[in-house]
């Protein structure tokens, strides 16, 4: 495996970072995960723009690199982004190496890492039967304390909720906010359907405005499907007819139960399936060429 580290590609065993890196010491950094369909990268510019916004939000200078070229080379070196293997790409930018202490000025330059590996699709059985969720006891961080729009390398809030899901034998956890309203799952956005209306928690509830989330809302509006972004409770979710999750790698994943309460008929609902079909049909609109020009 070849990994881009700071200014060159190195083999996996040579990709070493100092114990004084503030990403390791304090979780002081940002990241972005991206995927390809074959050689074409999904929403590349949107992901890179979000990475810049995250870096700006924590005062981390975004290195002026030819990011699309580096992503292409990373895919080529690792033989992913082909007809056989879609690619999973991760860019991580940490504050960099510096003496112990919280002052960002201790770190003269950031640490940059790009990784690429095959992206295996989720099991088809999950799409046929749906996944189960729980409502986590862990609450989403207050937006006034840590903005959810920052994709920070400090993921402890989500990790604690994920541990709850694992302990309960569930696929994932839903985090509530400080007002007991739904926000999102640990790595995905949440949607549900009630009486034909597509609903999803508002960004104001304290969640990351996911890129796939935005596409689903756009597709629903194009189809004149009633859509509402708002403040919703777990009880409203349990009484819904359908539920599904969205993120870059899963696309649209149906949910069959929440806290052991069956959602609708306990299987993927018609609107969830329709939106997934629309998403697959519209993917070419959101793909960017990742092969050399």
What's the confidence (pLDDT) of residue 288? 61
- At 80-105, the pLDDT tens digits run 998 888 999 999 999 999 999 999 99
For residue 290, is it within any domain?
no
Q: Is residue 288 part of a domain?
A: no
What is the rounded CA–CA span in Å between residue 217 and residue 33?
21
Q: Do 128 and 271 have their domain in common?
A: yes
Give the pLDDT score at 290.
Answer: 41
> What's the whole-number mean pLDDT along residues 112-139?
96
- For range 29-54, the mean pLDDT: 96
Residue 83: per-residue pLDDT:
84
Clarify whether residues 76 and 31 are in a common domain: yes
The pLDDT score that the predictor gives to residue 52 is 97
Quick check: 292 pLDDT over 60?
no
Percent of the chain topping pLDDT 90: 94
Q: Sort residue 138 into left (φ over 0), alpha (ψ -120 to 50) or beta.
A: beta
**What integer is the mean pLDDT of 110-137?**
97
CATH number reported for the structural domain that contains residue 112 in this entry: 3.30.470.10
Residue 293 inside a domain? The answer is no
* Host domain of residue 214: 124-283
Looking at per-residue confidence, does 82 or 73 come out higher?
73
Task: Return mean pLDDT, the chain.
Answer: 95
Distance of CA 122 to CAs 139, 159, 262, Å?
Answer: 27, 20, 22
For residues 142 and 255, state if they share a domain. Answer: yes
Tens-place pLDDT, residues 214-271:
999 999 999 999 999 999 999 999 999 999 999 999 999 999 999 999 999 999 999 9
Tell me what pLDDT residue 293 has.
31
Average pLDDT over every residue of 29-46: 95
The answer to whether residues 167 and 274 belong to one domain is yes
Whether residue 58 lies inside any domain: the answer is: yes
Q: Is 138's pLDDT higher than 50?
A: yes
State whether 237 and 277 are in the same domain.
Answer: yes
Regarding whether 145 and 88 lie in a shared domain, the answer is: no
pTM of the model: 0.93
- What local confidence, expressed as pLDDT, does residue 289 receive? 45
167 and 259 in a single domain? The answer is: yes
Mean pLDDT of 140-150: 94
> Same domain for 21 and 61?
yes
**Share of residues in the chain with pLDDT > 70 (%):** 98
Q: Say if CB 69 and CB 292 are below 8 A apart.
A: no
Instruction: Answer whether residue 59 shows pLDDT above 70.
Output: yes
Task: Judge whether residue 137 has pLDDT over 70.
Answer: yes
């Amino acid at each position: 495996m070849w990994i881009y580290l700071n200014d060159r590609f190195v083999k996996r065993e040579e990709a070493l970072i100092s114990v004084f890196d503030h990403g390791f010491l304090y979780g002081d950094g940002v990241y972005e995960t991206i995927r390809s369909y074959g050689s074409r990268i999904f929403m590349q510019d949107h992901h890179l723009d979000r990475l810049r916004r995250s870096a700006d939000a924590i005062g981390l200078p975004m290195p002026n690199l030819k990011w699309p070229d580096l992503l292409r080379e990373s895919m080529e070196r690792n033989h992913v982004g082909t007809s056989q293997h879609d690619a999973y790409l991760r860019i991580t930018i940490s504050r960099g190496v510096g003496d112990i202490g919280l002052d960002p000025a201790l770190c003269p330059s950031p640490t940059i890492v790009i990784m690429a590996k095959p992206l295996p699709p989720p099991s088809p059985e999950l799409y046929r039967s749906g996944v189960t969720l729980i409502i986590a006891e862990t609450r989403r961080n207050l937006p006034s304390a840590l903005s959810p729009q920052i994709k920070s390398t400090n993921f402890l809030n989500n990790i604690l909720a994920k541990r709850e899901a694992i302990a309960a034998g569930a696929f994932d956890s839903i985090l509530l906010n400080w007002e007991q309203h739904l926000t999102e799952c640990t790595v995905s956005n949440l949607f549900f359907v009630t009486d034909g209306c597509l609903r999803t928690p508002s960004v104001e509830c304290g969640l990351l405005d996911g890129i796939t989330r935005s596409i689903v809302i756009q597709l629903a509006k194009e189809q004149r499907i009633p859509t509402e972004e708002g403040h919703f409770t777990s009880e409203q979710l349990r009484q819904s007819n359908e539920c599904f999750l969205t993120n870059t790698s899963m696309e649209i994943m149906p949910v069959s139960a929440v806290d052991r309460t069956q959602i609708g008929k306990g299987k993927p609902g018609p609107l969830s399936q329709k939106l997934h079909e629309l998403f697959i049909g519209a993917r070419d609109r959101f793909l960017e060429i990742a092969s050399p020009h």
